[in-house]
Chains A and B, each alone.
Chain A
Amino acid sequence: MLYGTLFIVCIYYILPLWVMVMTSLKGMPEIRVGNIFAPPVEITFEPWVKAWSEACTGLNCDGLSRGFWNSVRILVPSVILSIAVASVNGYALVNWRFKGADVFFTILIFGSFIPYQVMLYPIVILLREMGIYGTLSGLVLVHTIFGMPILTLLFRNYFSSLPEELFKAARVDGAGFWAIYFRIMLPMSMPIFVVAVILQVTGIWNDFLFGVVFTKPDIYPMTVQLNNIVNSVQGVKEYNVNMAATLLTGLVPLTIYFISGKLFVRGIAAGAVKG
């Protein structure tokens, strides 16, 4: 009974994916037959190739590949920068309790409760004044800042679960702020870094709003480009190409989950022990 229910629920969840994969492997004539659950009679990878390198958005007809590389160029520096800053934040908040640390932390957490949309326009102005509106570095900065509250919280909780005496011992051993961070704390914190990487990679990769607001068409991230391909109103709706494009876009976070699922669970659990 239990397994029966689980089985049905699984089927229910897997069906859309099934439809997407199947549709993306069919040619347009076969799709017009309308039998969306049926596997393709004649398997073709044409739509995948087209989605990757030929699909048009506006005047550009070089497919999703451009968006993919844009996303990578946004993702890598954003993830590295946000995690680097947030982990040092968390470490300083736990171990070097400076004056006003609690106030600082409260403000940071409070910031995470304000809806993004409220801040969009002020940030546009800020970036314009800084001269980086519409550039990749502007978007990287925005992602870094918006990742700060949750990541700092994550790292703070993890570091406070590490024994305080280790930190004291390192200080008696003459290690300073950075020596303790790199030599003692970092090697002990791999699980939480994996968690942070996963959170940031999926979050930033899947971001649409910041991408569309803070960049311009040449450097749109993959998600924005996908939207433009799928929602283009001219010509025939190429369902197979759309499905392939969507799957391609979703592939990166999926891969990350699959290769690091175990570490992810362990890290989340480790961070959750002590708040």
Chain B
Amino acid sequence: MHSISVKELTLNFGAVSVLKDLNLDVAEGEFIVLLGPSGCGKSTLLNCLAGLLDITDGEIWIKGKNVTWAEPSERGIGMVFQSYALYPQMTVRGNLSFGLKNARMPQAEIDKRVARAAEILQIGPLLDRKPGALSGGQRQRVAIGRALVRDVDVFLFDEPLSNLDAKLRSELRVEIKRLHSRLNNTMVYVTHDQIEALTLADRIAVMRGGIIQQLDAPQVIYNRPANLFVAGFIGSPAMNFLHGATVDGGRRFEAGGIGLSLEGYEGGAVGARPEVVLGLRPEHLEIVPGAEEGRTIPAVVELDEPMGADSLVWLKAGGAQMSVRVPVERRMARGAAVHLRVDMTKASLFDAATEQRI
């Protein structure tokens, strides 16, 4: 049984179509991240799951129940918001117990659940404070606690870490992951931060324009992006793209006077195509001194950017700007003529017209 099942979901705001025939199945205990640029519909989809937006067409099932038209509180979900959304006039304890009181739960049970949530999230000493007297990280813990006390199977996170500074963000990221492994419930997590997506997710759904572009494990999304959009969106620094053509019956790639053998490309025989895009991640290129027939691209160093653990070298190659990740000790002189060796087994090839992976 799927924990969440979205069937043919469509949502229109007036004439604007925000989500189009969207299908998504989430397994029990799975951590799904909805990832995409702003305006891609990821938060909207989450609001539809929570029942905060009425959908135009389709069905939403949670835990084997059709909840398409159920009230948010009847769906068995807990939700954590970007702005924390704590009730300012209530204490932390009041915030945690508000939903339980609405459900007319006995006080003893409320106390028990609040105590458990406080223990898990280590917010026990804060229970009698007002949200205004808490730091950002503490507020977000309380917000997570509010979902926790509901004792539900599905957690929905709407960019929960976006309002925190970088250090707190990585701390809470680990904490959310720990929480997931402890509770083992289903989580749907919306973010525009690919690091969060890659570190947290069992599967990532990359969205654009209300459509899921690719839904797969983080490693697959990273190494085998399904289309040009996903390839360009995931990865920092971004993937290098070379526009060219496949010739020789698909055995060679040619662009701007450079030729590369496609031997070893995992897509197999690609056939001759007039317009393709070759995608190469910066860490799958290597700077070598001499040319090797069919395996290297001549390049000129423009700039190097030391980034601490490693260094990023920007070069001009094949008429395009490319970046290569190298060990930080390796300093490159500006204007130096070098060669880039391509690891074709890790490359991605896209059709320029359809933007789909070949």
B146 proximity list for chain A (CB < 8 A) = 169, 173
Q: Report whether A188 and B88 are in contact in the complex, using a CB–CB cutoff of 8 Å.
A: yes
A175 vs B50: C-alpha distance when bound (angstroms): 14
Size category, A interface: 10 to 19
Q: How far, in Å, is A176 (CB) from chain B's closest CB?
A: 8
A184 proximity list for chain B (CB < 8 A) = 87
A193 vs B103: C-alpha distance when bound (angstroms): 30
Q: How far, in Å, is B298 (CB) from chain A's closest CB?
A: 54
Chain B residues 40 to 73 lying within 8 A of chain A, measured CB to CB, are 47, 50-52, 71-73
A179 vs B103: C-alpha distance when bound (angstroms): 12
Q: Does A128 interact with chain B (Cβ within 8 Å)?
A: no
A222 vs B87: C-alpha distance when bound (angstroms): 43
Q: Does A4 interact with chain B (Cβ within 8 Å)?
A: no
In the complex, identify which listed stretch (B78-86, B170-178, B348-356) lies at the interface while the others stay far away: B78-86
Q: Report whether B79 and A169 are in contact in the complex, using a CB–CB cutoff of 8 Å.
A: yes
Q: Does A165 interact with chain B (Cβ within 8 Å)?
A: yes
Q: Does A80 interact with chain B (Cβ within 8 Å)?
A: no
B87 proximity list for chain A (CB < 8 A) = 166, 169-170, 183-184
Q: Does A168 interact with chain B (Cβ within 8 Å)?
A: yes
Chain A residues 166 to 186 lying within 8 A of chain B, measured CB to CB, are 166, 168-175, 179, 183-184
B83 proximity list for chain A (CB < 8 A) = 163, 165
Q: How far, in Å, is A227 (CB) from chain B's closest CB?
A: 45
Partner of A168, one of B81, B86, B89: B81
Q: Report whether A168 and B50 are in contact in the complex, using a CB–CB cutoff of 8 Å.
A: yes
A231 vs B294: C-alpha distance when bound (angstroms): 108
Q: Does A187 interact with chain B (Cβ within 8 Å)?
A: yes
Q: Report whether B89 and A187 are in contact in the complex, using a CB–CB cutoff of 8 Å.
A: yes
Q: Report whether A171 and B72 are in contact in the complex, using a CB–CB cutoff of 8 Å.
A: yes
Q: Report whether A179 and B102 are in contact in the complex, using a CB–CB cutoff of 8 Å.
A: yes
A165 vs B99: C-alpha distance when bound (angstroms): 15
Q: Report whether B82 and A165 are in contact in the complex, using a CB–CB cutoff of 8 Å.
A: yes
Partner of B99, one of A163, A166, A168, A174: A174
A165 proximity list for chain B (CB < 8 A) = 81-83, 85
A183 proximity list for chain B (CB < 8 A) = 87, 98
A170 vs B82: C-alpha distance when bound (angstroms): 15
Q: How far, in Å, is B160 (CB) from chain A's closest CB?
A: 11
Most chain-B Cβ atoms within 10 A of its Cβ — which of A165, A170, A172, A174? A172
Partner of B98, one of A168, A175, A187, A188: A175
A168 vs B79: C-alpha distance when bound (angstroms): 9
Q: Report whether B103 and A174 are in contact in the complex, using a CB–CB cutoff of 8 Å.
A: yes
A171 proximity list for chain B (CB < 8 A) = 51-52, 71-73
Partner of B73, one of A163, A166, A174, A188: A174
Q: How far, in Å, is B304 (CB) from chain A's closest CB?
A: 44
A174 vs B87: C-alpha distance when bound (angstroms): 14
B102 proximity list for chain A (CB < 8 A) = 173-175, 179
Q: Does B77 interact with chain A (Cβ within 8 Å)?
A: yes
A134 vs B201: C-alpha distance when bound (angstroms): 71
A163 proximity list for chain B (CB < 8 A) = 83, 85
Q: Report whether B73 and A169 are in contact in the complex, using a CB–CB cutoff of 8 Å.
A: no
Q: How far, in Å, is A171 (CB) from chain B's closest CB?
A: 5
Partner of A166, one of B50, B71, B85: B85
Most chain-B Cβ atoms within 10 A of its Cβ — which of A168, A170, A171, A183? A168
A166 vs B85: C-alpha distance when bound (angstroms): 5
A65 vs B71: C-alpha distance when bound (angstroms): 55
Residues A169 and B89 in contact in the complex (CB < 8 Å), given A174-B99, A174-B102, A183-B98: no
**9 closest Cβ pairs, A-B complex:** A174-B73, A173-B99, A165-B85, A174-B102, A169-B85, A187-B89, A165-B81, A172-B72, A171-B72
Residues of B within 8 A of A (CB): 47, 50-52, 71-73, 77-79, 81-83, 85-89, 98-99, 102-103, 146
Give 9 pairs: A residue, B residue, CB < 8 Å, sorted on A. Answer: A168-B79, A169-B81, A171-B52, A172-B78, A173-B99, A174-B99, A175-B102, A187-B89, A188-B89
What 13 new A-B contacts, CB under 8 Å, besides A172-B77, A172-B79, A172-B99? Answer: A165-B81, A165-B82, A168-B81, A169-B81, A169-B86, A171-B52, A172-B72, A172-B73, A173-B73, A174-B72, A174-B99, A175-B98, A183-B87
